[in-house]
Structure 1
């Protein structure tokens, strides 16, 4: 036998054992390592079969002694009960296989508490199928270390259900160390956490993680003691029953017409080759923004008090709803002044349904009021509520504009920073329908409603709920003040399906592009790249030749919010524009230019708008006319010594660009990362989209938004170079025409 080769084998195997303490597994190294193992094995076999008679001392042979997750459970007595659960599920061998997983096993006292809670005499009484469920509930298919956790982090377990991990400093252990709490139930034991094994990492917990498999009505029924008025109103309006939608079973059949994976998707540079996954299911979900009873008693003490009967409380809420929507503009937006077709007397919807006997009609004021408090998608945690990546909070707050169950309405979700709004009471917390004082709202700041987490379980399979400290309404203040601004809308939030099916903000955003993006195993950071079949997204019409590619988010992309949707092939797609109040708006498309991009004709309400957009042209192209200091250099010498243009020069250039139908990228968005695990701007490591000549905004047209009318945008490819011609759906902007400003000055830079 070749002794130097054998020694090399021992070194490689020992290196593999030492590798288990590192944070992330290097897949390329593992591939090389496995190849070496094969070579070593074959070399050994050749020596055996050619009659090699060398006798080696026993200590020259290597024995694999690495501990797997199965060994972790076997070798520690305090996990004997959970080990038996795994054995009864028939999955102990699975925990002995290679992988990159995170396990949250409960200690024996936690299992004993679970047995008592569920009425089982012993582990042997737990049904085998439920044992399998309990294992999958505490197993995540990627490695997570606690030192990488954010204040709130959301992961999916093997049941495709969320694990919400909160490390906010509110809960301490006996040693006064901060605890990480999972789903408001189980605490990761600090003395035992981050225990690396060969196939992942183990975080022991003090209680069994029980998956919440109830639907929304059950969740609210079990937890409504603090919001009895809101709950009763939901029940009387029938909106409680409307929260039953969960999984589209028809998709389980027709999804088989599409391959589970679509390989070799070229999107970006020639070296960026992706494999995209078809969505496993088609889920629906809802998020409720609930006003607790105590808030109504305190803020509306002239209307509500604890001594009132429930009937009186519902009457008071009904009158409040009437006041919020009893104006001419609201009647136009929601069609309240339209005649009811089947009514022989020609009465309008308002005349017929504005009474306390018609609470279940969607035109009823209380029904409208509550519908506006329900988002048409599921946010199980605040970790996914607002995409904060790539937002420079010196200039702007991370913001999402989301549709609700009230037709033709939108709600503003915002993480408010004191750098943007010094008057904010809870910096870096979430607010609904907040607006900082500016020239666009006559200096009138709108506080909005502060969002907070309930003390009880706040999410189920298809419903999550949060508390707000004031009522919400799509009223005159919201429409005329809060929404009288440049509304920048990420395409990932245009379609609820991308949120409901864990496609938006999937995986670890800090994990850059790698070779694993072109495999069917997902990424090292968790999550997948997805392709969306035709007819999957409601209201999106797309030809079968098109590929709707939802690229996973990752830092360093030259895209807003570090994510983007790309359309490939010979495409023709139509979708509904987001809901905004009636009026005239400048409609803009934000995108990144690249040599592989295509040329598209854009339409609004099926009317062609201007010349086709050539996405191959960068900002310094003659047809755009931008002044740029290189590809991503500083432009303004007054802000940085590396800039070569003055503010006056750039202001004049903004006029030139606007006359050509373009704006530069925004100053409030950036590409890159400062090296931390969270979104944060660093001038040394990040580049403002304003300075990138490849990130632009194109004015599509001025669009007249009419009341009670859906408006559509259509995008059709007219040129696809080399068969690719990628169309970049990054974000759109809807800007009230009255605030655009001459020459693209002022807020257009941000």
Structure 2
């Protein structure tokens, strides 16, 4: 007999087993079935008891993931039936899957935590697959949900002991091409492709280890602006027929991180070029919004529009969006910037990121972090404490166990302007005192993280501090070197650094 259960109860029941998955698997119309409880069986048992999914089951067994689907955990599976699998094999001219191709296909259909259709939203899902890929959901007319602009969910929210199942009408082909390949393969971006190939941007792109987001202008939009070829691009004032400026022009179209449109909060974002990119979310997505004066001393709003219906195009190493006007580098006004110390590619790309503590990382080779520890250890710490979860950004910090230490990091780009600089940390009886340096210059007074005394610019929530460092002025948009160094030995629980604009 089917019975309905609450989603809150399900998540509470499953949450405790969220890590089990990693230990086991390192390696026609819409039927709206909502929250039916099949929680006496695992996903694996359900697949075995329903022969229409025997093909999915066979692939799971071949890939090595069947054990995980039968174990205690909390994840989401997009399952396809035999008919859908056969259609996929025919279209892709596949006779049999080898172990590696079976593994790639199955892992693309499993999310690393519980996701029901009520929280999928419109755009990229916040939860990635077990190997870090992202699936895009598009809520369509009639309450239909389209995944990756390809497959509809036809049976949704089947509750098992170890997660959710959603039945889809087609197999989701894994996306294996990188952003460059996907853009180059689309004829509508031939001018952008020519810009890339005739600049030195390839070296910048090849150096990037993390995920990327591109804003690409199609040929049709360039043509409306009178730009029909690379020659017209080279004649733009921003490029001025210089290869180095063309390189920066192309780099300005890419920002670090995987950002589907629904991932943007609004603000300034570091590009791979010299300047920041501004994204505002109002009645639509607006890139580089600003006001210009026209005759009569009237101010008119101008911006570069984003086409949502043509955007959120996935790639193996990022996503790209389509713009409705040419994109020219500008220096945007100062915006609030938060630098989360733990957002380093060497950590973000790990399955433990945001989930589990990693000890003794002082021996790691970070590209943008330098750590010196004497008499203690250094770790990436993920807290389980309710208050920490509330006040830590992403629930995680860098933790120094004691002794003398220093932490040197390269910040993201920060727009030119005046800012109030604050260090975010947790106070405690065994903490040390630190001095902050900005671009090798001492800034502000030492901060006693054991028993700090608030100034008018400090912000305090219990033991969680946003401690005032100094008001600083940046005359150009660029990255900065931040060093935090003990002047009194002790522990350090460091979250990040914020830069709050000062508008005078």
TM-score (norm 2): 0.78
Distance 1:232 1:90, change over 3 A: same
Counterpart in the other structure of 1:157: 129
- 1:607 — aligned with what? 441
Runs of 4+ off more than 6 Å: 17-21, 27-30, 552-556
Residue 370 of structure 1 corresponds to 250
The whole-number CA distance in structure 2 between the counterparts of 1:165 and 1:555 is 31
1:425-459 Cα deviation digits (max 9, x unpaired): xx2x433323589xxxx995754323344648822
Of 489, 498, 501, the match for 1:731: 498
Structure 1 residue aligned with 2:192: 230
Q: Secondary structure at the match of 2:368?
A: coil
1:574 is matched with which residue: 396, 408, 411? 408
Deviations 1:245-299 (A, max 9, x none): 57xxxxxxxxxxxxxxxxxxxxxxxxxxxxxxxxxxxx4333221112222233x
CA spacing shift, 1:237–1:20, aligned 2, 3 Å: closer
Which one has the bigger strand percentage?
A: 2
Call closer, same or farther: CA 1:609–1:233 in 2, change over 3 Å.
Answer: closer
Give the Å deviation of 1:236.
Answer: 2.3
The aligned counterpart of 1:412 is 278
Measure the CA separation in 2 of the matches of 1:220 and 1:138.
Answer: 24
Give the Å deviation of 1:725.
3.8
- 1:470-493 Cα offsets, whole Å, 9 max, x none, are 33333xxx32xx32x3x3211138
C-alpha separation in 2, matches of 1:29 and 1:563: 17
Q: Is the 8 A contact 1:163 1:182 kept in 2?
A: no
Equivalent in 463, 475, 483 of residue 714 of structure 1: 483
The equivalences for 1:203-214 within 5 A come to 203-214=166-177
Among candidates 12, 26, 29, match of residue 13 of structure 2: 26
Aligned partners of 1:24 and 1:143 also within 8 Å: yes
Q: Is the 8 A contact 1:187 1:207 kept in 2?
A: yes
Range with greater deviation from structure 2 (65-74 or 284-293):
65-74
Greater radius of gyration (CA): 1
Counterpart position of 1:594: 427
Task: Name the counterpart of 1:521.
Answer: none
8 A Cα contact 2:158 2:166, kept in partner: yes
Instruction: After TM superposition, give the deviation of residue 211 of structure 1 in Å.
Output: 1.8
> Residue in 2 aligned with 1:747?
none
Task: Quote the Cα distance in structure 2 between the aligned partners of 1:114 and 1:93.
Answer: 25
**What's the CA shift for 1:194?**
0.9
Asked if the contact 1:451/1:469 (under 8 Å) is kept, the reply is yes
**Normalising to structure 1: TM-score of the pair?**
0.55
TM alignment of 1:349-428, pairs within 5 A:
354-355=241-242, 359=243, 363=244, 365-375=245-255, 377-379=256-258, 381-384=260-263, 386=264, 388=265, 398-399=266-267, 401-406=268-273, 408-414=274-280, 416-417=281-282, 427=283
Q: Is the 8 A contact 2:14 2:74 kept in 1?
A: no
Q: Does 1:178 align with 2:144?
A: yes
- Are 1:118 and 2:92 an aligned pair? yes
Aligned partner of 1:100 among 74, 78, 83: 74
Change (3 A) 1:614 1:371: same
Mapped contact 1:492–1:498 kept (Cα < 8 A): no
Partner of 2:233: 317
SS at 2:121's partner residue?
coil
Q: In the alignment, does 2:47 pair up with 1:76?
A: no
Measured in 1, the distance between the counterparts of 2:398 and 2:300 equals 37
Distance in 2 (alpha carbons) for counterparts of 1:141 and 1:292 = 35
Structure 1 stretches lacking a partner, 5+ long: 1-16, 31-64, 247-282, 327-353, 389-397, 418-426, 508-526, 625-656, 666-688, 742-750
> Which blocks of at least 5 consecutive residues in structure 2 are unaligned?
18-38
Give the superposed CA RMSD. 4.1
Q: CA deviation at 1:716?
A: 0.8
Q: Write the mapping of 1:88-487 to structure 2, written as runs, cut at 5 A.
A: 88-89=62-63, 91-121=65-95, 125-152=96-123, 153-158=125-130, 160-167=131-138, 169=139, 171-172=140-141, 176-179=142-145, 181-189=146-154, 192-222=155-185, 224-240=186-202, 243-244=205-206, 283-298=209-224, 300=225, 303-304=226-227, 313-320=229-236, 323-324=237-238, 354-355=241-242, 359=243, 363=244, 365-375=245-255, 377-379=256-258, 381-384=260-263, 386=264, 388=265, 398-399=266-267, 401-406=268-273, 408-414=274-280, 416-417=281-282, 427=283, 429-435=284-290, 447-453=302-308, 455=310, 458-474=313-329, 478-479=330-331, 482-483=332-333, 485=334, 487=335
Label 1:694 to 1:98 Cα distance change in 2 as closer, same or farther (>3 A). Answer: closer
Q: Deviations over 1:51-101 (max 9, x none)?
A: xxxxxxxxxxxxxx9322122222223323323333444554543222222
Q: 1:297 to 1:601 in 2, by over 3 A?
A: same
Shift, 1:204, TM fit: 0.8
**Superposed displacement of residue 592, structure 1:** 5.6
